Structure 1
Amino acid sequence: MRRADRLFDIIQVLRLARTPITAAAIAAELEVAPRTVYRDIATLQARRVPIEGAAGLGYVLRRGFELPPLMFTDEEAEAIAIGLQLLHRTGDPGLTAAARTVVAKLASVVPEGMRGHLVAAPFHVSHRGAPAPGIVDLSEIRSAIRDARKLRIAYVDANNANTSRTVRPIAVEYYVDATLICAWCELRNDYRHFRIDRIGAVRVLAESFADEAQRLMAGWLALTRPK
């Protein structure tokens, strides 16, 4: 979790709490260490967020504190609502769950008159799209891409041949009928696109390719994006 997201979540936890809440309780909810919460609360207090309390006693957010409202036009709010619904079509459970929390977070900080555009938008987007990823955890794959970590995959190619590959994942492409992992394949010494429904097993390796990640991304974009 990014620190900015965690600071926001701490404020939200404190806003919803009816009684003082300890750093340990906040840490358990956010799945971080209590010392991280102590540091974050100190940061928020330094930024003049009115949090009162002390270690061991619990913390409260002074009544009346509101985050600055986010302002969107009607068109922008509707674009967000439709875009988040479209995430269901990816078949990616992690992104689908994230879409729900994004709506909740936005609804808590936009002006009240705009909340209906987000939580009860008069639009419906069909959820029909790419199939669920099966054994592949796409959240884990996206994390490996962010961290530039290699993957070891068992793959069945278009000719039904079973292969074991070490790949350097670059991107995930979501299509209506399939989801692809785009990567540099060490077996083929070239870029390849792997359908997740043909991956029999996947393991994130400790080996990093961070020093090559930008070059590999640039090369892939040059091959796949129109000039």
Structure 2
Amino acid sequence: MRKASRLFEIIQILKRARHAVTAQAIADQLEVTPRSIYRDIVALQAMRVPIEGERGLGYILRPGFDLPPLMFSVEETEAIVLGLALLERTGDQALKQAAKGVNAKIAAAVPGPLRQVLQSNALQAWGSIAPAPDGIDLGMVRHAIRDEQKLLLDYRDEWGNATERLIRPLALIYYSATAVIVAWCELRQAIRNFRADRVEDCQPDDTFFRGEGNRLRDLWISGWTSGNPAST
């Protein structure tokens, strides 16, 4: 989790809390070290976020502080609801969990009539649900795309041949059956697609391709054929 996102989440945790929350408790929720939380608290206090407390005793957010509200029209709210429902059909467990958090945060922030839209279950997204792939964490792939970090795959192609690929992940396409990773393949020296359900293992490499992602995505988009972005 990047620092900006972590600072936002710390504020949300403190807003929901009824009592002082320790740095350890916050760290456990965000999967970082207490030392990181101590630094984040100092950074937030420097930005005049009214957090009170100290190490060992915990922290509280003074009543009355809030982030600027998000105001959506009914149609915009319905678009969000449907988009979150569609995430349930992917095999990305982290995105499914994130969707629940988004729903809760929006429901707590919007006026009553729009809150009813979020909670009414009037909009549904039905269809087959993609199973979570066994050999790869799609959350890690999304993280690698953002950080422009290479990934090392143990992959089995459609004929069952096993191969090892070092890739530069560029995009994720979610289908009803599986997710497809669009990447620059170091072995083939070209853009290739890798089905998540054919990945037997995936590990982050210690090398990066920073500054190249947008150029490679433009190359990928320029090669689309028949309106299918997954074509190669």
Seen in structure 2, the aligned counterparts of structure 1 residues 167 and 12 have a Cα distance that, compared at 3 Å, is closer
User: What residue in structure 1 maps to residue 156 of structure 2?
Assistant: 156
User: What residue in structure 2 maps to residue 125 of structure 1?
Assistant: 125
Seen in structure 2, the aligned counterparts of structure 1 residues 161 and 74 have a Cα distance that, compared at 3 Å, is same
Seen in structure 2, the aligned counterparts of structure 1 residues 85 and 59 have a Cα distance that, compared at 3 Å, is same
Q: Tell me how large the CA RMSD over aligned residues is.
A: 2.3
2:11 is paired with a residue whose SS is helix
Decide which moves more: 100-109 or 41-50.
41-50
CA offsets per residue over residues 78-106 of structure 1, 9 Å max, x none?
Answer: 00000000011222111111111111122
Q: Distance in 2 between matches of 1:84 and 1:118?
A: 10
1:89 is paired with a residue whose SS is coil
Letter in 2 for 1:222: S
Give the gaps of 5 or more residues in structure 2.
228-232
State yes or no: 1:7 paired with 2:7: yes
Q: Distance in 2 between matches of 1:57 and 1:204?
A: 38
Q: Distance in 2 between matches of 1:61 and 1:33?
A: 21
Seen in structure 2, the aligned counterparts of structure 1 residues 190 and 122 have a Cα distance that, compared at 3 Å, is same
Moved over 4 A (4+): none
Contact 2:134–2:200 (Cα < 8 Å) also in 1:
no
Compute the displacement of 1:127 (Å): 5.0
User: How many residues get paired?
Assistant: 226
User: What residue in structure 1 maps to residue 106 of structure 2?
Assistant: 106
Compute the displacement of 1:181 (Å): 1.0
Identity among equivalent positions (%) equals 50
User: What residue in structure 2 maps to residue 197 of structure 1?
Assistant: 197
Seen in structure 2, the aligned counterparts of structure 1 residues 153 and 52 have a Cα distance that, compared at 3 Å, is closer
Give the gaps of 5 or more residues in structure 1.
none
Compute the displacement of 1:211 (Å): 4.3
When the two structures are superposed, what TM-score results if normalisation uses the length of structure 2?
0.85
Q: Distance in 2 between matches of 1:43 and 1:105?
A: 23
